[in-house]
Amino acid sequence: MNRLLAEKLYTARDSLDSWLKIKEEESGGIFYSSVDVRDAGFKAAIVDTNLYPAGFNNIHVNDRFNAATQTYRLLEECLNAPKSILLVIEEHTRNKWYLENVVVLKELLSRSGATVTFSTAFQVEGETYDGDDSLNLESISGKALKVYTLEKALAVAKPDIVILNNDLMKGIPEPLLSENLKVYPSPKAGWHSRLKSRHFHFMDSLAAILAERAGLDPWFITSLWRRENHVDINIDADRERLADNAAELLKSIAEKYKEYEIDSKPFLFLKADYGTYGMGLLPVEDASEIAGMNRKNKNRLFKGKSARVIDSFILQEGVPTIIRRNEKSAEVCLYQIGSQTIGSFFRINNEKNDRENLNSTGMIFEPFELGKSSEYGICEKQMYMYKTMTRLAGLSARLEINELQNNVGNEVRISC
């Protein structure tokens, strides 16, 4: 069925591409994003969209030239050719793999000739800063990085634009609220305010239109979901509410399976409605697993990144993956600059099966070249499907940003 799904989308590609282009121009576009695609064979869905993506170091080296070219075009044609760029990174100063991502991002941004300066959003606890308010760090490949405090970086760099590679779970640093700064993506779309449920709300609306153009049930390119708010995972009554919602969702998935004669057991993921890094997430096959949750899982779902207490959850249809690499379960991750897919890789997990969260302990990454995806078992039509869904996610993210900043704020719309 996967081939039929990809075939339908590919056959309708002229209509889909023209519609997406119009919608992207209307909405204003985004600077960059990444997505996780789950491909079950009988359906495929974006299960996570990141507006401040790490992992650029995992993109195939042969795709980095095109990535730099697209970044150059976006900066030159859409953002007034900035000469000074401030890249605001996460406070992961001891994560050398994350710092390698920062190094690659700098390479992409500096291709235009711009000077790129680094800062964190907040001062890093436990680190000793030099006299110029900076930290001297090193990536996994031995590349040196000088990372300033935000206030110092703004004074030193006097940036034309600010690029965020920090999800702002802790909130927006006051200096980034200045009306004189042009910040991409909008700081108002950080995880302090952004909700996965809003993203999937917009995606469902857009997917319905796209699917109609392709003659598809939109379920084939989305995942069913429900939201539950004001939850304390340690309170029995709150877990019962979640369990009731889970039972209804599992029933809805089972009805779809029956409609399309899919011989598989439905499952879902219980997720925090905000946050990333695969935190605050639990696979569920029976609603009773939520009501009778053990202490270990309660602890997993009580707090997320930055020790933020989780009080809002989504229950999302589980999409198994048919992708395998070296006999291990895998999923495809794709990266966009603007509306162009510029890189991809497999996320592989040696410790998880095809129905579990692969963004967890045991994961490794395998880059693959976009233009040679067939050598990795992904045919041209299948890759078109993934890229189209990635654009759909990017457009959904743009609509999120517009709503969060109520069409005002210090992110100037990208209109080309």
Task: Give yes or no: residues 151 and 232 share one domain.
Answer: no
Q: Note whether 47 and 88 are same-domain residues.
A: no
- The verdict on residue 200 lying in a domain is yes
Q: Is residue 412 part of a domain?
A: no
- Predicted local distance difference test score (pLDDT) of residue 3: 76
206 and 323 fall within a common domain = yes
> pLDDT at position 408, please?
46
The answer as to whether 46 is a domain residue is: yes
Instruction: Write down the pLDDT at residue 305.
Output: 62
Residue 408 belongs to some domain of the structure: no
> Both 87 and 171 in a single domain?
yes
Task: Write out pLDDT tens, residues 141-174.
Answer: 999 999 999 999 999 999 999 999 999 999 999 9
pLDDT score at 278: 56
Residue 83 within any structural domain of the chain: yes
Residues 349 and 380 in one domain: yes
Q: Is-above-0.85 flag for pTM?
A: yes
Domain annotation covers residue 414? no
Tell whether 15 and 77 lie within a shared domain: no
pLDDT given for residue 309 in this prediction: 84
Ranges of residues in the chain with a pLDDT under 50 are 407-409
Same domain for 183 and 148: yes
From 190, 225, 246, the end of a domain falls on 190
What domain count does the chain have?
A: 2
At 406 the pLDDT is 76
Question: What's residue 304's pLDDT?
Answer: 66
Of 157, 190, 223, which marks where a domain is finished?
190
Q: Give the residue numbers spanning the domain of 88.
A: 63-190
What's the CA gap between 344 and 108, in Å, rounded? 15
191 forms bridges with which residues in the sheet?
A: none
pLDDT at 412: 54
Of 162, 190, 218, the one marking the end of a domain is 190
